[in-house]
Amino acid sequence: MAAKKRTTARATKARANASAAASARGGTRGEAKASEKVAARAAKKGPLAKPRSSPAKPSSPAKPGTPAKPGTPAKAGAERGARVVKTVKPASPAKAVAKAARAPAASGASAATGPGVGDRAPKFALQDHLGQALSSGDLAGTPYVIYFYPKDDTPGCTSEACGFRDAGADFEGAGVRVLGVSPDSVASHQRFANKYELSFTLLSDPEQELATRYGVWALKKNYGREYMGIVRSTFLVDGEGVIRHAWRGVRVNGHVAEVQAAASALS
């Protein structure tokens, strides 16, 4: 009921205000009535609600865009439409020489530094397998073969000694004497000669003095081990004491035949 009374009061007040406004404008009675009707309808509907306009939210600032990743530059070879070929820089001559110098000798020993063809044969004075002294002076005017071997009664040395034994007649026919030299003792030489019936002279060089003069006592390498030893070598010396042929780092097979041929040509 209270709400109805308030509505009626508002309508009455609205009609009064409308009439007063019409009179103030000097309007006609019809205009006043029209105004009253408008006011009545407005009062009936009630006061207009104020619009509740929410303040507009400030728009969020746009996030800065992530810069685009730079594109991977195309390879030079692809741009040219050709395959890129890797070039290898050649080694300098100095490096090549140094590498060759470091390479081990084919015989497994360091390069020998001793007399060669055309040089005078080193002088010596040693004991043979019979305990008798023999010197280079004793051989003056007589050509001879002097060969150096590592050790008595070992496979390679035995094969070589037996080869010279078997070719003894050929060397004798050429007037060339055969001498075998190793660091073994006189007693070892005697046993070795007796065991294989060697018909030539074996010289004992226990201090490697003659081997050193000929340059055949050198650093050797075997299965990663380094040691000093005899480099198997042979020299053919003429009656004037001059070296006519030299074989260093000898391979036993076929060697005696080669020396015998050279000795025969010497005469």
* pLDDT, tens only, 196-249: 999 999 999 999 999 999 999 999 888 889 999 999 999 999 999 999 999 999
**CATH code of the region 106-266:** 3.40.30.10
pLDDT at 28 > cutoff 70:
no
* pLDDT, tens only, 112-165: 579 999 999 999 999 999 999 999 999 999 999 999 999 999 999 999 999 999
Distances (CA, A) of 199 to 50, 169, 180, 192, 258: 144, 10, 11, 11, 20
* Mean predicted confidence (pLDDT) in 8-29: 53
Q: Which residues are marked as active site? A: 157
Neighbours of 227 (CB within 10 A): 8
Residue 164: predicted pLDDT: 98
Q: What residues are paired with 182 via a beta bridge?
A: 204
pTM of the predicted model as reported, rounded to 2 decimal places: 0.60
First and final C-alpha spacing in the chain: 164
pLDDT at 16 > cutoff 70:
no
